[in-house]
């Protein structure tokens, strides 16, 4: 199974990107996780959204199309998702209701230094994905709080309870993606 992971943060030291790198530890050997970097995706412009699109956009659309499922980890910026992530979803959402993201099974996670782990951004993200007809894995929610102390120097999640919960999330999520494949 191929999972495309997208981080809503461009920061080198991003906790969300680190979270997506660490989920490979929690899936079966027959599941691959590729983390897509949004850094080169330009701002959405309808004039550029023709048959020939900017190369980074084309790469994003092809990566989504060829994946069995998406896994998004988002920071919370001012109670919502970063523009970088919303912009990528906007590109991926066209043409409306027939896009590469339409019907693509998607897991949503968040991470923040706050004690609620970006939960408000997750709520907004789920709403956006509703507009694009993207089915979202419903439960359990995974929000990584106090992210600045969650990883050790090797990028490994340190807390056993958090690791167990992420394992539960990834097992449920990958089974759900497999069921959607039929
Ligand atoms: C933030 N941050 C933040 N955190 C939060 O819990 N709620 C919020 O509303 C916001 N708002 C916000 C706005 C802006 C513009 C920035 C730059 C940051 C903090 C943010 O979640 C934190 O820096 C995360 O660590 C960012 O995620 P990455 O980059 O570590 O993945």
The C-alpha atoms of residue 181 and residue 168 are separated, in whole angstroms, by: 20
Give the residue among 134, 9, 8 at the shortest CA–CA distance from 64: 134
Tell me what percent of the residues of the chain surpass a pLDDT of 90: 97
Nearest alpha-carbon partner for 119 in 157, 81, 152, 156: 81
Predicted confidence at residue 50, as pLDDT, reads 96
Does pLDDT of 40 surpass 80?
yes
- pLDDT at res. 140: 83
Dist CA 112 CA 150 (whole Å): 10
Tens digits of residue pLDDT in 119-136:
999 999 999 999 999 999
Please tell me the total number of residues recorded for the chain in this structure. 182
Give the containing element (helix H, strand E) for 111: strand 106-111
CA of 117 to the centre of ligand 1 (A): 10
Distance in Å, CA 29 to ligand 1 centroid:
33
pLDDT of residue 109: 98
Q: Read off φ and ψ for residue 29, nearest 5 degrees.
A: -65, -25
What is the reported pTM? 0.97
pLDDT classification of 182: cutoffs 50, 70, 90? low
**pLDDT tens figures, 53-99:** 999 999 999 999 999 999 999 999 999 999 999 999 999 999 999 99
pLDDT in tens, 105-120: 999 999 999 999 999 9
Q: What pLDDT score was predicted for residue 139? A: 83
- Residue 11: CA atoms inside 13 Å, Cβ hemisphere, count? 11
Q: Please give the mean pLDDT across all residues of the chain.
A: 97
Per the listing, tokens 């923040």 go with 112
Shortest-distance atom of ligand 1 to CA 73 = 31
> Cα(86) to centroid of ligand 1, in Å?
15
| Pocket, ligand 1, Cβ cutoff 6 A | 9, 11, 14-16, 75-79, 111-114, 118, 147
**At a CB cut-off of 8 Å and minimum separation 6, what does 70 contact?**
3, 4, 5, 6, 64, 101, 104, 105, 106, 107, 134
Each residue of 140-165: pLDDT tens digit? 889 999 999 999 999 999 999 999 99
């Amino acid at each position: 199974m191929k999972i495309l992971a997208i981080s809503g943060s461009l920061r080198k030291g991003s906790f969300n990107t680190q979270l997506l790198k660490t989920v490979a530890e929690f899936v079966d050997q027959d599941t691959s996780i590729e983390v897509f970097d949004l850094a080169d995706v330009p701002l959405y412009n309808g004039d550029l959204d023709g048959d020939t699109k900017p190369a980074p956009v084309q790469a994003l659309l092809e990566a989504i199309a060829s994946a069995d499922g998406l896994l998004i980890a988002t920071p919370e910026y001012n109670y919502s998702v970063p523009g970088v992530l919303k912009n990528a979803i906007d590109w991926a959402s066209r043409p409306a209701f027939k896009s590469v993201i339409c019907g693509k099974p998607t897991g949503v996670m968040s991470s923040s230094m706050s004690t609620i782990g970006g939960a408000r951004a997750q709520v907004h993200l789920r709403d956006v994905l509703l507009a694009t007809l993207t089915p979202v894995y419903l439960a359990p929610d995974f929000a990584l709080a106090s992210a600045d102390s969650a990883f050790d120097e090797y990028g490994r999640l340190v807390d056993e309870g958090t690791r167990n919960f992420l394992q539960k999330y990834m097992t449920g999520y990958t089974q759900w993606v497999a069921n959607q494949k039929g």
